Amino acid sequence: MDLSELVRKDFLEVGPDAKISEVASHMIRGEEAVVVCDENFIGIISSNQLIDRDYPAETKTRTLVRKNIPRIEDDIGSAGVAKLFLENNVKAVPVFSKDKLAGLLYEKDFIRNSECLSDTKKTLEDIASVPDVIEKDESIGKARTVLKEKNISRLPVVDERGKLSGIIDIEDFLKTVNPREGMGRKDSAGDSVPEFKLPVTTIMDENPLVTEENITCSKIIKLFKKHNKSYIIMVRNKEPVGIVTSKDILELMASLESQKGVYVQINGLGETEDEFEKDKIDSMIIDSVQKIGKIHGPMEYFFVHIKSSQREGEQKLFSIRTRALTPVGLYVSKASGWNVITTTDEALDRLERQIIEDREKKMNLRSPRNA
């Protein structure tokens, strides 16, 4: 794949003193990333950054711009680009020519035009995780909390019978950068209701991309491109049973990099600046990989996503999500808390317990019954 053909040269640029409300208004109209420059390139703001914390609308872009994003090199390859998107959690990365910004490579353009998964035998069921869902009468504020605490970007909406009604994307919240500053709307009685208290049906997409078939990953990418989506939901009897997002596709792409042993990647370790915490987390993950390997044999890949979503005083709320592709299937765990080490430990423990319990169930099914 020639990455140069995918670079967009018509990107949106703002100054470091532009207000977040201005950036959000552009993103509501479809911009997924905005370049921040003064005389030189400073960094990028992605749409997913705007709801990670409750920034007041008057906040300037210099406060949340992502700096020091690695540049794409000529020989990086598809796996390297996928890894770059995962590590930096941005919707686009800068491409330079002779130290001058030439354009942006967007995550969705990269995925939808990549052919690196054309030969893989992996299917939707191999990489799909069981989706967290929210009922249609729950509030927008509740949905936003779930997305942040679970460290996910999409939330299927179901009715009282568990049938799929729609989906909420993290970018749906751009209409209110800080939900509690939202203008609100009128209810049936004519009273003003803050937007974060309105039901999720007011912002959800009523036509989510779904499939009932166990399609290949290559087919998933084609459907992403055809329908301009970055996820697909697997349904049975109209109930959501699995979901694959663009991040899941990136994980599979990154794991294809030539290597020996299990592919392990920790994303978001920069959320903590304490070197002891970083070393401790790294050690914990290595131990977990070894434990799981003794149960099912070497994994194909193991991803740990670390994200801090808000501050309370000097504290950060950490959301940890793990995804382990083993010889017998995919396992996912999540945890959130104020201490990054204990929260990571909780997520890893949940993952290990899932795998052990699943193995015990399968062994019990295979064992002969007592006469």
Return the CATH number at 336: 3.30.160.100
pLDDT digits (tens, 9 = 90+) for 331-352: 999 999 999 999 999 999 999 9
Please spell the DSSP secondary structure of 47-106, one letter per residue: GGGGGTS---TT-BGGGTPBP-PPPPPTT-HHHHHHHHHHHHT-SEEEEEETTEEEEEEE
Q: Work out the average pLDDT over 208-227.
A: 95
The residue with greater pLDDT, 2 or 109, is 109
Domain containing 281 equals 259-366
Same domain, 187 and 277: no
Q: What is the pLDDT of residue 90?
A: 86
Which of 249, 283, 303 is the last residue in one of the domains? 249
| Non-local CB neighbours of 152 within 8 Å, separated by 6+ positions | 132, 146, 321
> Would 298 be classed as within a structural domain?
yes
Which of 112, 133, 156 is the last residue in one of the domains? 112
How many Cβ atoms are within 10 Å of 278's Cβ, its own excluded?
17
| Mean pLDDT score of the chain | 85
> Would 326 be classed as within a structural domain?
yes
Same domain, 279 and 317: yes
Same domain, 152 and 77: no
* Domain count of the fold of the chain: 3
Percent of the chain with pLDDT over 90: 46
> Would 219 be classed as within a structural domain?
yes
Same domain, 180 and 273: no
Same domain, 199 and 288: no
Same domain, 243 and 133: yes
Q: What is the pLDDT of residue 89?
A: 84
> Would 254 be classed as within a structural domain?
no
* Predicted confidence band of residue 1 (pLDDT cuts 50, 70, 90): low
pLDDT digits (tens, 9 = 90+) for 71-96: 776 667 888 899 989 988 888 998 88
Helix axes 340-366, 275-296, angle to 10 degrees: 0
Which of 249, 274, 292 is the last residue in one of the domains? 249
Same domain, 275 and 353: yes
Q: What is the identity of the amino acid at 101? A: L
Q: What is the pLDDT of residue 99?
A: 79
CA 154 to chain centre: 8
User: Given a cut of 90, is residue 206 above it in pLDDT?
Assistant: yes
- CATH number of the domain residue 219 falls in: 3.10.580.10
Q: What is the pLDDT of residue 223?
A: 96
> Would 119 be classed as within a structural domain?
no
Q: Work out the average pLDDT over 190-211.
A: 82
Cα radius of gyration (the chain): 21
> Would 150 be classed as within a structural domain?
yes
Q: What is the pLDDT of residue 157?
A: 97
Same domain, 241 and 274: no
Q: Work out the average pLDDT over 2-23.
A: 88
